[in-house]
Structure formats: structure tokens, C-alpha cells
Amino acid sequence: MDAQAVLRGLLVLIINIVITSAEFNRVCFYSGWSLYRDGKMGLAPEDIDPYLCTHVVFAYATLDDTGTQIRVPDGYETEELNLFRRFHSMRSKNEDLVMMLSVGGWATDSKLFSKTVSSEANMQHFAEEAINYLRKHDFDGLDIDWQFPATRGSPPEDVQRYYRFLRLLQWEFEHEEEPDDKSTLILTISVDPTVERAAISYDLPRYSRWVNWINMKMFDFYGHWNDPCVANHHSALYSAHDPKNVNNLSRYWVNKGVPRHKIVLGLPMYGRSFTLTNRNYTQAGAPCSGPGSDEGDGYPISKLCHLIKNGAKEMVIADKRVPYVIVNNEWIGYDNPESIKQKARIVFNNFLGGVMIWTLDLDDYKGSCGRPYPLINAALDGLNARHGYNELITNAKQDQAQQAAAKKEIYRQRALGWQMQDQQEAIHSQQSGRTGGRRRGW
């Protein structure tokens, strides 16, 4: 074997070691309405597998009327729910879990964020209040999901104001006098990464300088809201003809200057449905009259898998490499474990920052169709993170066994203590009987 062959072999080995040991963020969103999505069978925080994710983000908080203070929708902090406390209970199982809060979402008026960034004083006020709020409620970071700057009542100037706001907020996070047992607060943003949206609402290469990473929502590229309405997959993996696909957009933002390690690819745990105008025309691109039976809310994989299990034929859009099914006059495009694995593979092969799961409760978390969390587990496989996950589970079981053994030893020592005390009491009683004395005490 010549020297060049040896060097090539060493280089391949080094690259494999670097890739295999890379740690990718697995950012899982948990929505406040998860408890109610499926009646009494909703996903409670206590039932989440705390080892699937590196970060769990509670969505959503909102803003007060001034845009300077974080507020949580009514009911989330009531005594009967106490949802934040329950949310943080996951740390009792996995102490390395990072817990974050997301502010915004579609329900938060864009005009409120516009108030936040309208002046330096408002930005400063928000930063101070946000730090107090996050520390008070034991969160490790903040995600901002503004939908969307320069639209829905927000002026075009807000695109640059948002940049100044993120810069100020990150500076305040970094210069906070941190509690002894806490790390610097994390700052992230969630965005619609399509070129059309970014051209209006974001300056992502500049924003990326002041955030830890960007959650890029690689879903909802299409839906019943498009005019004209056509059945189109909302989260294509590839496409030779349509630029709205995960591979193309992730490559686009790297080329535009967003650092690879700050790109976190959003993976949907749900499908988008359409009611076909003509049930005999079922190909992708078929005309539709509106959303399907999910009424535009999204079709959870936990429900969709039952359709397939009961006979609905899964088909694949060849150039987009994502599946769909037809049920009566309903067209549903979604992701299966293979397409999710391939999306996560884009992250792995290109050294991106990780994946973002939207949302935990939309996957088949109960395993009613087989393996629990089939899509999230597929993402683990795509990231080559299976070994790390299994190691966490093994360590947790060992810790539990050690804790159980420690408790057993404590009880054994206590039992011995009582036994010794009983023996001492018996001796004392015998001695007292011989001397005619009386026991004192209890």
C-alpha cells in the first residue's frame, strides 16, 4: 500500500470520526394545546420521552398590548393546569434537557411585535422583562416566531428594526448577571425560509449573527390557502422543477451566508389535506376546492397512520420523494419515516445545525400504529444519533437502578437501626426491672 493510499485512508477515518461525533440539535416543539388536540387523550408533558430531544420548546407565549412584556394565553398558568411546572418536570428524568419558550406564532398579531421594535426604549424594556420572565419560569432560552415582519400591519422598516432588536437582545442575554446554576440564555428565531417570504420579511444572513440558530420551517410551502387551490405536497424533499423543497432551500441559505451550524431544518409531524374537485383526477397538482377533513389544521401522523394501516395506498411523488394518500375525495401529502430520515440526512451530510420537530404530539407518540414516535426516531436515524439516544436510555436505567439500590440500602440501615434500638430498649427494660426503676420518656 503506497503512502497516498494510507493518507486517504486516514483522511476518511478522521472525517468519519468527526461526522459521527458531531452533535446535532434536536429541537422539539411542544404546543400548549397538545393536551386538548385529541380530547382526553392529548399528550401531557409527563408522558414525553425526554431523551428524544436536546431542546424542548414550549409554544406559544404572546405579548401584552404594549409589545414589551411576555404573556401566556389564559389557562396555561392556572393552578388547575400549572403547565410550566409540568413542562419542566422532564428535567427530573434528563437533567441535560434544555427548556425554551417561544413567543409569537400566527395568533400573535404582527402589530404587537411592531410595537416591540418601534423604539430603542421598547426594545430595552422587552429585553429586561424577558430575562426576568425566563428566569422566573426556569426557561433556558427564548425563541421568537414573528409572523411576519413587514406584513399583517407591520411596516417595511421593521425588517431592519428586527435586526437591531435581535442584536440588543443577544447583548443583554450575554451581559446578564447569571444565576449561579444557570448558563447564558439562548436566543433563536423561527422563520418561513421560502425565498419569496424572506425577500419581504427577513434579512437572514444578518440576523444569523445575533442568534444561536434559526429554526427554518421547511413545511407549509403549499396549502389550501393558495390561489388557485391545487393538491400539492407542503414539504417536498427534492424537486427538479420547484425551488420550494428542503434540499434546495437549505443549500440556498448556506450560499447566501447563513452559517451551516445555525441552520436547523424544520420537520413536520403532520400532513396537509385537500378536497379534490374531481375524485378521478388524483395526481399531484390536481384542482381542489379547499382543505380536507382536518379543516386546515393539519393531519397528525398519529391519525394518518391508521388510514394506511386500514388499507389506504401510500404513493410517492417521484421527483419530490415524499408520499401521499387518497381517501375518497381527499388528497393528503405527508412525511413517512423514510422521507424524514432523508431530510435529517441532509443535515448530517452537510454539517447543518440540526432538526426542529413540529410538534411532539403530532407524531404517533403512543405507538398505536407500531413504534412510538416513528418520525422522530427516523430523524434520529438520519442524524446517526441512535447510539447517543440508546446510551442516554441505558444511563438513565442504570441511574434508576443505582437510586433504587441506594434507597434499599437506606431502608436496610433504618431497619437495622430500629432493630438495634429495640434490643437496647429490651436490655434497658430488663435492667430497670431488676432495679425496680421506672422508664422515662415517650
pLDDT tens per residue across span 152-209: 999 999 999 999 999 999 999 999 998 878 899 999 999 999 999 999 999 999 999 9
CA distance 83 to 191: 26
CA 248 to chain centre: 23
Q: Which of 4-8, 307-311, 331-335, 420-424 has the lowest average pLDDT?
A: 4-8
DSSP notation for 406-434: HHHHHHHHHHHHHHHHHHHHHHHHHHHHH
Q: What is the mean pLDDT of residues 412-417?
A: 61
C-beta separation of 322 from 236 below 8 A? yes
The dihedral region occupied by 204, where left means phi > 0, alpha psi between -120 and 50, and beta the remainder, is alpha
Confidence at residue 389, expressed as pLDDT on a 0 to 100 scale: 84
Q: Options 3.40.50.720, 3.50.50.60, 3.20.20.80, 3.40.50.1010; which CATH number does 23-272+337-398 get?
A: 3.20.20.80
Q: First-to-last CA distance in the chain?
A: 87
pTM score? 0.85
Pairing of strands 141-145, 186-191: parallel
d(C-alpha 366, C-alpha 48), whole Å = 10
pLDDT tens, residue by residue, 276-314: 999 999 999 999 999 999 999 999 998 999 999 889 999
Cβ atoms 89, 130 nearer than 8 A: no
Q: Which residues contact 109 (CB under 8 A, 6 or more apart)?
A: 152, 153
Summarised one tens digit per residue, pLDDT across range 75-126 is 666 655 688 888 999 999 999 999 999 999 999 999 999 999 999 999 999 9
What ranges do the domains of the chain cover?
Answer: 23-272+337-398
| Other beta carbons less than 10 A from residue 99's beta carbon | 20
The answer to whether residue 433 scores a pLDDT higher than 80 is no
The grid coordinates listed for 286 are 390536481
Among 101, 102, 96, which Cα is nearest to 50's? Answer: 96
Phi, psi of 111, rounded to the nearest 5 degrees? -65, -30
CB 198 within 8 A of CB 192: yes
